Structure 1
Amino acid sequence: MMHQSRTPAPASEQNLQSNAKADASPERVFNLAANVGESVRERTAAIRAITSRTRILALNALIESARAGDAGRGFSVVANEVKDVSSEIARVVSDLERELMSRVEELETIGRLLVSQVRGQRFADLALNAVELIDRNLYERTCDVRWWATDSAIVEAAAGPSEATTRHASQRLGVILDAYTVYLDLWVADTDGNVISNGRPDRFSTRGLNVARESWFQQAMQTASGDDYVAADIAPSATLGGALVATYAAAIREGGERDGKIIGVLGIHFDWEPQAKAIVGGVRLSDEEWSRTRVMLLDSRHRIIASADGKGVLSQSVQLDLAAGDRGFYEGREGEIVAYSLTPGYETYRGLGWYGCLVYTPPKAG
């Protein structure tokens, strides 16, 4: 069986195909439109300059032919014809420029919209990915706190606080912390809110600490069963050196039973900043995009709780326009692309109404 040979494409066509494969992005389309527009302007300007010089030459020829009298009459006809041709070329160039530029401007507008649409949708997907990653992480925290609240050493310390039981609980909490390095400390509190044991007594002193006014403690005391947990807002903890923590809590119940009487509360303090920074800093952007983009996590009030640039955490908010629904993007007041996604939750973790958010500031025109 004979095989037909394929004629290679011309070099120019091969280069075009190669370039298209190398970069078929919307940005490339927009840049090509801008380059074409600039080329049209440059070439028509050059033609205008040439026709202007031609008209000047024709005018000089007319002057010289007039001086020559009858001998220059024939040359004046040619000069007039050159002048008319120059004027006609100028009109054609003007018409061509007007027609081409209107189409180039339309192409530039379409390219700009295409860039915005594609980037906006991709950024919304990246925002979803970021908030999903933190939700998966925090889902594990909800499992941890409910599991550890049934640990026998912790249950015994809450049931009968003594030097021996609280020391044993502290040792047990320390073992847990050695394996789970994402936590700053773990606290056991009695029903009055007094912290009776913690996992890192050599690092964080909880002597005399009472957490009865903390929302996580109060809510944990109101839970219906051992299946329930409480998640607090991101907040700094003075006891933990001012570090930002995500505190999760569960009731400690008599006998470690699911429906046992509440005898205390276990509070676990997730080391928020390094974990959140790893997530917002790991979003896949190009170097150019990173130089122009803020990547953030927002709480349910749209307050910044993590930012790749480290700015505005707990002190700034982003006023999101949620017209597109739980996930979308829009153009901000200064021309930014604002993309966001509401947490979808993970497994049994419903999430706290947080958002992933990216704000891209495009380069200024010209």
Structure 2
Amino acid sequence: MHPQPLTEELASHFKKVNDFRSHIYQLQNAWDSLALMAQLSGTGSEMEETRTAFNKISNAVLRHLSEETLHKTAAQLTSKAFEVINLLIRNLFERTADIGFFATDDDVRGYLEKHAAGAVTAHEQLRITHRFQEYQNKYTVYENIALFDMAGNMLHQLDASQQTLVDQHAIFKLAAQSSAPYVEYFYETEINGKPYQSLMYAHEVRSSDGLRPLGVLCLCFKFVNELQTIFQNLISGSDWTIGILLDEHRHVIASSDPHQIPIGITLCADTDKDWFVARFAGREYLCVTKQAENYQGYSGPGWLGQAMIPLEYAFNQSMQGMISNIDAEILRKVMRSPLIFSESLLNIPKQAANIQSKLNQSVWNGNIWQSNYVNTQQKNFSKSLLSEISNTGHKTQQIIEGMVSELYQTVVSVMLENSSFYAQLAVEIMDRNLYERANDVRWWALTHVFRECLGNAQLSAQDKNQISSILRYINGLYTVYDNLIVFDRQGTVIAVSNPRYNELIDSQLTEEWVGRTRSCTSSQDYVVSQFEPTPLYNHQATYIYAAPIRHLDGNSIVGGIGIVFDSKPQFQAMLRDVIPRDKTDTPVSGSFTLFVNEQLKVISSTHADFATGDDFALMPEISNLDEGQRLFDIAIYHHTYYAVGVHAAYGYREFKGAEDNYRNKVFALIFTPLGNVNEINQRITAESQVIHNKFNPNLFLQNAEDSQEYATFYVGNSWLGIEARFVREAIDEVQLRTLPESAPFIAGMHPYGDQVIPIIDLARMLGHAHYFTDYRQIVVIEDKAAALKFGVFVSALGEIPYLAPNQIQPMNTFFKGISNNPGIAIANLAQQSMLTLMNAQSLWEKVTIGQQRQTEQAML
């Protein structure tokens, strides 16, 4: 595959992305205005670095979001294009086996031999009609059955109204000249002015000794009906996607919406690209084309599946239906998973918070500068301007976080949709496969030799050998069966196809399905065993399909046939075919799939923990699903989050349909890993402990006559403050030098201007073991009267409120003898939590006392 570059023309259709881009542009205009006003007013706040950093992150997120938006739609189209062609190819594979077997039917041979001898009577005509009708009743995928003699004359067809098959039809010539196992032929024509399409399979009929050609048998597949069924299950009424089937010349031979994409036109198709844009009838479409995957050696007629959607509707799908039922807390955690998101994407919210934190530092310093050096009138304007700068930063950060959340949800929803799609594909594959099993057993029960031999008063050794020979021949053609068994009316095994089960011959079958077989009332009836271990399948669990064998007179049941589905490899192959794949079409590592029955017993699984027959207790709610219903969720298994898609089987054609007595609800589950629980929790815990600058200049702007401004900051979760007149600014730690034998609360010395100043570790002083921050900040404090200048490490910057005296309660009103405590007062603010106020002298006094104690201990 060749990844396609995202063009501006295509990106113009991304409504959600463009809404975000519009908000970003509006904020950029606001930044321009604020920058000019700040420059003219001299607020002391520098914004250029902030603007550049925000723009860089915004553009990166918009690019990622655009790419994932495109990938989401392309992934949906890819799934549908694959399903169109692969489901059809699996169906046609069964048809290639049908024609080869039906061409050896004794009734068909007998009719052709009598025709060659001129001995066909009205009774013979009636018998062949009945035979064809019985076949079509079982294999309802065929709309017509026709028989030619070796001269190319049409001898008989099931649907006499068909006008497409005539003497010397092209398919007759192809089959008569071919030694291949089958001839596959598709053609289009018109009947009464309307287009008609037919896909036919033909095979030469030869004498029982194989020496003489007798004629050609032709099966006409319900091509149009089958594609309509695929499209109907694949595309909902509200979906703008169009499913297309293209022939080897890129002509449209089937369309889910012929009003938009008519049959017969030629379309652009490209299997080498992940997606492409095509124009048709003045409209642009996003398209994906897929070749058929080879199925058991059969690759089909060379056709292609294509899915396409008008560009104006391609990227408007809402994700809310996909994630609305997901637990919000689980979804939040999954969106921090390094398994599905790169480290650069996961770090974007943190980078945005860091940028806002740096902006807040600049605004905080601007406020400090305004407080100390600007007159009141200009100060109020400047503080309002600084407030707007900080708010604009918050808005920019929120837009970025919103884009990132949308990006994360888009990626997760793609994985949920993929799991759901593959679950539906799994039940489609399973039911279509088992539909054939129900057909096979009923048809083989009508085998003339079986009915004739079992109708005899006593079976001879020759009868048994003949039955065994036929069973072996059938089993050689139909390898999905482990064994075929014919038994008499009493349930005694007469013959088997697999020599490994020869010990079953002459034994009595006591399984309950044998009794139900004898209760069938028509040639359309069949029975299926429970999925359970059986000696007929080496004591492993499987389904056994059975049908009664009737006497040639049709009045009585003389025995039955049971076909043992080779469930272990067959179900495994189905489940392996629906393992989710990534963008490079590689199976997603750690994914696994299951079939589970209504009793929540595992039928088959690709995960070693879920063995056949085990109870499936992980998601008991799936048993509430009705046929055809689906669900998707995020589940936890073995400390891993999984996107889980579940789909309840809904049958195929009449199999498990309204007219079928057989019911067997099976669920397909697709698990796609989203991340390790412990790893995600550790990341979230670490991120939650990072404290960013919380400065919100909107608060506490009122300036009463007797109030003072306080610069506040955080150390861990402790909110502290000091009069703003003692604060110079907040700076980043750049070059800290530790001092030997210094006070326990002195972190070291740090350059400040042309000086070096001591730095106090407030976290240690307050008893915090440590605190987390992406970068350590230093608040520089100066008390000129006391000749003190030092810095304190802080976790984050807070507000700069005005506080009146009546809002402050000194600590010594609560406790005695606390003069050495750096906290001197408490301010209880309704807008925030409790604020502890300090002064420079008491804070430095605490350091001095610590130094004295350390010196005294050293002298002991």
Query: TM-score, normalized by length of structure 1?
Result: 0.74
Query: What are the within-5 Å matches in structure 2 for residues 145-294 of structure 1?
Result: 145-159=441-455, 160-201=458-499, 204-212=502-510, 214-255=511-552, 259-283=554-578, 285-287=580-582, 290-294=588-592
Maintained 8 Å contact 2:418/2:580: no
Percent of residue pairs identical: 22
Distance 1:323 1:164 in 2: 52
Give the Å deviation of 1:99: 4.3
SS at match of 1:281: helix
Which moves more between the two structures, 127-136 or 102-111?
A: 102-111
Q: 2:630 aligns with which of 328, 342, 364?
A: 328
Distance 1:136 1:343 in 2: 10
Give the residue type in structure 1 aligned to 2:596.
Answer: L
- Alpha-carbon distance change, 17 to 339 in structure 1, aligned in 2, over 3 angstroms: closer
Maintained 8 Å contact 1:292/1:362: no
SS at match of 1:249: strand
SS at match of 1:205: helix
Maintained 8 Å contact 1:26/1:114: yes
Paired residue for 1:144?
440
Residue 649 (structure 2) pairs with residue 343 (structure 1): yes
Maintained 8 Å contact 2:65/2:407: no
Distance 1:233 1:323 in 2: 20
Give the Å deviation of 1:146: 0.9
Total equivalences in the alignment: 335
Shift >6 Å, 4+ stretches: 16-19, 48-56, 87-94
Distance 1:313 1:92 in 2: 65
- Superposed CA offset, 1:299-325 (max 9, x none): 232322121225332113241344698
Maintained 8 Å contact 2:579/2:670: no
- Alpha-carbon distance change, 336 to 90 in structure 1, aligned in 2, over 3 angstroms: farther
Residue 669 (structure 2) pairs with residue 357 (structure 1): yes
Query: What are the within-5 Å matches in structure 2 for residues 80-159 of structure 1?
Result: 95=391, 98-159=394-455
Give the Å deviation of 1:251: 0.5
Maintained 8 Å contact 1:40/1:97: no
Distance 2:400 2:67 in 1: 23
Distance 1:183 1:199 in 2: 10
Give the residue type in structure 1 aligned to 2:573.
Answer: A
Which moves more between the two structures, 189-198 or 155-164?
A: 155-164
Distance 2:402 2:362 in 1: 29
Distance 2:597 2:499 in 1: 31
Give the residue type in structure 2 aligned to 1:315.
Answer: D
SS at match of 1:192: coil
SS at match of 1:305: strand
Give the Å deviation of 1:266: 0.6
Q: Which runs of 5+ in 1 are unaligned?
A: 1-7, 59-75, 79-86
Task: Choose 1 or 2 for highest CA Rg.
Answer: 2
Distance 2:465 2:626 in 1: 54
SS at match of 1:236: strand
Give the residue type in structure 2 aligned to 1:268.
Answer: I
Give the Å deviation of 1:221: 1.1
Give the Å deviation of 1:331: 2.7
- Alpha-carbon distance change, 114 to 147 in structure 1, aligned in 2, over 3 angstroms: same
Maintained 8 Å contact 1:254/1:260: yes
Give the residue type in structure 2 aligned to 1:341.
Answer: H
Paired residue for 1:84?
none
Paired residue for 1:306?
604
Give the Å deviation of 1:242: 3.1
Give the residue type in structure 1 aligned to 2:593.
Answer: V
Give the Å deviation of 1:206: 0.8
Which moves more between the two structures, 41-50 or 314-323?
A: 41-50
- Alpha-carbon distance change, 239 to 330 in structure 1, aligned in 2, over 3 angstroms: closer
- Alpha-carbon distance change, 316 to 108 in structure 1, aligned in 2, over 3 angstroms: farther
Paired residue for 1:42?
354
Maintained 8 Å contact 2:445/2:547: yes
- Superposed CA offset, 1:327-352 (max 9, x none): 23243554643322222211221162
Give the Å deviation of 1:170: 1.0
Distance 1:104 1:224 in 2: 69
Greater fraction of residues in helix = 1
Give the Å deviation of 1:248: 0.3
SS at match of 1:291: coil
Give the residue type in structure 1 aligned to 2:469.
Answer: Q
Distance 1:290 1:328 in 2: 22
Query: TM-score, normalized by length of structure 2?
Result: 0.34
Maintained 8 Å contact 2:533/2:541: yes
Distance 2:644 2:394 in 1: 35
Distance 1:345 1:185 in 2: 24
- Superposed CA offset, 1:155-183 (max 9, x none): 23423323221122111111111111111
Distance 1:122 1:33 in 2: 22
Distance 1:101 1:33 in 2: 15
- Alpha-carbon distance change, 143 to 320 in structure 1, aligned in 2, over 3 angstroms: same
SS at match of 1:362: strand
Distance 2:437 2:627 in 1: 28
SS at match of 1:250: strand
Computed over aligned residues only, the root mean square deviation of the Cα atoms, in angstroms, reads 4.3
Residue 70 (structure 2) pairs with residue 24 (structure 1): yes
Maintained 8 Å contact 2:643/2:672: yes
Greater fraction of residues in strand = 2
Give the Å deviation of 1:55: 11
Maintained 8 Å contact 1:136/1:346: yes
Paired residue for 2:287?
none
- Alpha-carbon distance change, 53 to 292 in structure 1, aligned in 2, over 3 angstroms: farther
SS at match of 2:70: coil
Distance 1:325 1:149 in 2: 30
Give the residue type in structure 2 aligned to 1:313.
Answer: T
Distance 2:430 2:671 in 1: 19
Paired residue for 2:620?
319
Maintained 8 Å contact 1:51/1:89: no
SS at match of 2:607: coil
Give the Å deviation of 1:360: 3.4
Maintained 8 Å contact 1:123/1:339: yes
